[in-house]
Amino acid sequence: MSFDQIRKFLIEMQRDNLLKHEVLSSSTADDVALIALKLGYEFSGDELLRFSGKKVDKVTVRKNDVPGEYN
């Protein structure tokens, strides 16, 4: 599991406002994982979702529940 990679990515995201905006604008955990991959961090969207509820510094990972057909 790549929780260490997720933690490092979240720490970098806190320091970079442009990256933070890009992550917050993402639709899915897979989109966030692709952004992270471009920066050299390796984790999947599923791993990010399993990280939900955990906090790294000022960032808490939360899974958005989407109603209806998007679940």
**pLDDT greater than 60 at residue 70:** no
Residue 64 lies in a domain: no
SS3 of residue 27 by DSSP: coil
Among residues 62, 42, 35, the alpha carbon closest in space to that of 51 is found at: 62
**pLDDT greater than 60 at residue 13:** yes
- Looking at residue 71, its pLDDT comes to 47
Residue 69 lies in a domain: no
Global pTM? 0.81
Residue 65 lies in a domain: no
Question: Looking at the 3D structure of the chain, how many domains does it have?
Answer: 1
Domain region containing 20? 3-59
Residue range 40-62, pLDDT digits in tens = 999 999 999 888 877 777 777 77
Residue 66 lies in a domain: no
Residue range 23-39, pLDDT digits in tens = 999 989 999 999 999 99
